[in-house]
């Protein structure tokens, strides 16, 4: 089963509202990656974080890696309809860098 | 587009049959990973091939087997199909294998239905 937990499973927002998804593991992660999958599509790589406490930004998206390297978050500011999709975190478990995916958070943006 | 191609795009099989799925990796990539994605779930790691050798395996039974060729393309074989094998099978290529740079480039997947 999945060893990388992700919440919430679904999130409905009005366009312009912010959105955050959280990722947690019981064990230390080698790294954390984030992917986006549009409905009917395949996962597309967004970013990778490796260092403890690392923060990276991509336009309206902010990614954080926890100090203990056991959790991560993705925050989207002022959502747009183009942000619709499922966001997956994927972490390297047990010293491996092979990504183990969370269940994903599906973002629904209402215009 | 990622340059990772998978075939076929859709497949219907009956329980007990065998299936082979194919993947061509992105140019320059030497590692291929296979994932199974059930509806509403995240991709689950099946196995990875690095330079034609199996480099890691997830919690899947031996009837799931794979192969990587010298040109780094890959096959996923599933024997004795079960109804629960119905899923989207994703192939992802990357560079350097388990060396700390596992950025995955996914293909569009093969949607397998087992009846």
Task: Give the pLDDT score at B102.
Answer: 72
How far is B2 from B24, CA to CA, in rounded Å?
Answer: 11
How far lies B5's CA from each of A17, A65, A109, B27, in Å? Answer: 36, 32, 30, 11
> pLDDT band at residue B1, thresholds of 50, 70 and 90?
low
pLDDT per residue as tens digits for the range B56-100? 899 999 999 999 999 999 999 999 999 999 999 999 998 865 455
Residue A1 has pLDDT above 80, yes or no: no
Quickly list DSSP for B49-102: EETTEEEEE-S--TTEEEEE-TTS-EEEEE-S--GGG-EEEEEEEESSSTTT--
Can you read off the two tokens belonging to residue A14? 């009005």
How far lies B33's CA from each of A41, B4, B5, B75, in Å? Answer: 18, 11, 13, 10
Residue B2 has pLDDT above 80, yes or no: no
Task: Give the pLDDT score at B9.
Answer: 97
Q: Is B87 on the interface with A (CB under 8 A)?
A: no
All residues of chain A having their beta carbon less than 8 Å from the beta carbon of residue B35 are 101
pLDDT per residue as tens digits for the range B8-46? 999 999 999 999 999 999 888 889 999 999 999 999 999
pLDDT per residue as tens digits for the range A83-107? 999 999 999 888 788 899 999 999 9
All residues of chain A having their beta carbon less than 8 Å from the beta carbon of residue B33 are 98
* A:B CB pairs within 8 Å: 60
Task: Give the pLDDT score at B97.
Answer: 53
Task: Give the pLDDT score at A34.
Answer: 98
Q: Is B60 on the interface with A (CB under 8 A)?
A: no
The answer to whether the CB of B23 falls within 8 A of the CB of B5 is yes
User: How many C-beta atoms surround the C-beta of residue B55 within 10 A?
Assistant: 18
Q: In 3-state terms, chain A is what percent helix, strand and coil (to 5)?
A: 5, 60, 40
Touching B: A residues 45-104, CB under 8 Å: 45, 48, 50, 88, 90, 92, 96-104
Whether residue A8 has a cis bond before it, omega within 30° of 0: yes
Q: Is A10 on the interface with B (CB under 8 A)?
A: no
Task: Give the pLDDT score at B100.
Answer: 55
Whether residue B8 has a cis bond before it, omega within 30° of 0: yes
Under an 8 A CB cutoff, do A44 and B107 touch?
no
Q: Pick from A43, A44, A97: which is nearest to B102 by CB?
A: A97
Task: Give the pLDDT score at A17.
Answer: 98
pLDDT per residue as tens digits for the range A32-53? 999 999 999 999 999 999 999 9
């Amino acid at each position: 089963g999945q060893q990388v937990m992700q919440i919430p499973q679904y999130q409905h927002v009005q366009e312009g509202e912010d959105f955050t998804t959280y990722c947690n593991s019981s064990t230390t992660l080698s790294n954390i990656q984030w992917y986006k999958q549009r409905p009917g599509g395949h996962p597309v790589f967004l970013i990778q974080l490796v260092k403890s406490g690392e923060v990276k930004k991509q336009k309206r998206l902010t990614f954080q890696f926890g100090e203990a390297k056991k959790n991560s978050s993705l925050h989207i500011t002022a959502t747009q309809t183009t942000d619709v999709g499922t966001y997956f975190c994927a972490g390297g478990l047990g010293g491996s860098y092979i990504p183990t995916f969370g269940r994903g958070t599906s973002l629904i943006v209402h215009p | 587009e990622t340059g990772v191609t998978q075939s076929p795009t859709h497949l219907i099989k009956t329980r007990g049959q065998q299936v082979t799925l194919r993947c061509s990796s992105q140019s320059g990539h030497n590692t291929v990973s296979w994932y199974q994605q059930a509806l509403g779930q995240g991709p689950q790691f099946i196995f990875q091939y690095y330079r034609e050798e199996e480099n890691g395996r997830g919690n899947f039974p031996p009837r799931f087997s794979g192969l990587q060729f010298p040109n780094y393309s890959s096959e996923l074989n599933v024997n004795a199909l079960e109804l629960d094998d119905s899923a989207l099978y994703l192939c992802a290529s990357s560079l350097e294998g388990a060396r700390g740079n596992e950025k995955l480039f996914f293909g569009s997947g093969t949607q397998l239905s087992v009846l």
